Amino acid sequence: MSKESAIGVFDSGLGGLCAVRALAELLPHENIIYFGDTGRVPYGSKSREIIRKYTAQDASFLLSHGVKAILAACGTVSSNALECIEALTSNPVFGVVEDAAREAYDASHSKRIGVIGTQATVNSGIFKRKIEERDPQAVVLQSACPLFVPLVEYGFTAEGDEITRLACERYLAHFRGEVDTLILGCTHFPILEKAIASALPGVALINPASAAARAMAKTLGKKNLLSERAEKGEIRYFVSDEPARFAAEGKIFLGKDFEIKAEKIEIDKF
């Protein structure tokens, strides 16, 4: 395992690009390989068996590129299948649950914390368990928000978008006055952060992708695995469906400063 090996990141679609952006900002000299399983998105509505199968294939693809660490930038995978990656490699493996739960607990004054995510993430109860491990008296309210992912991926992200505003009002109303902190338990959800904040004024929002990126940077530093190159790292993108659409929609997550050129792979071969 080389210091100059890439960091591997994957998600079921585009949401993991939030983690890529955070890593690129924190660790600008690192190479990053991203795989978006755009041909099989979403994972959140799949059975646990299928999620675990897809996870193993996604991780195997990244490991075929010799990555030195893997971030499963997907709340569904982190909630249901992280051990499937750990079974394939001794390299550091990260999800988007542990550190987000810690940051949410630390940020909350009332210890009343909300969690939103895909149906699979909410069903797993993983954020609730992680917070209650820290404090059995903490109150954790959860809700699935299945429309948020397609809203992001179909571009309903402009500030003030009426469809997104109504979805936020519908999904988040029961959190109002009940929690002071909310975990955005899917990597797509931070793209809707302004709309979510408008629906829940005064509530602290926790971005799991950013929390995971900070944890990864800290761990790689402790293990002496950070790149020593002086130049900016390269980001390579791979997908399981149409690369052109991924490149166009990826700008929603990464911003205009990132150049996206994706390659299509046959993920079922892994």
Please pick, among 18, 145, 168, 186, the residue that the annotation labels catalytic.
186
DSSP annotation of 42 reads -
CA distance 262 to 237: 5
Q: Is 186 a catalytic residue?
A: yes
From the candidates 74, 84, 145, 168, give the one annotated as an active-site residue.
Answer: 74
Distance CA 243, CA 172 (A): 34
Closest CA relative to residue 40, chosen from 237, 239, 188:
239
Q: Which residues pair with 35 in a beta bridge?
A: 10, 238
In angstroms, what CA-CA distances link 239 with 24, 46, 243, 244, 250? 19, 19, 6, 10, 11
Q: Is 145 among the catalytic positions? A: no
Give the total residue count for the chain.
Answer: 270
Catalytically active residues, by annotation: 74, 186
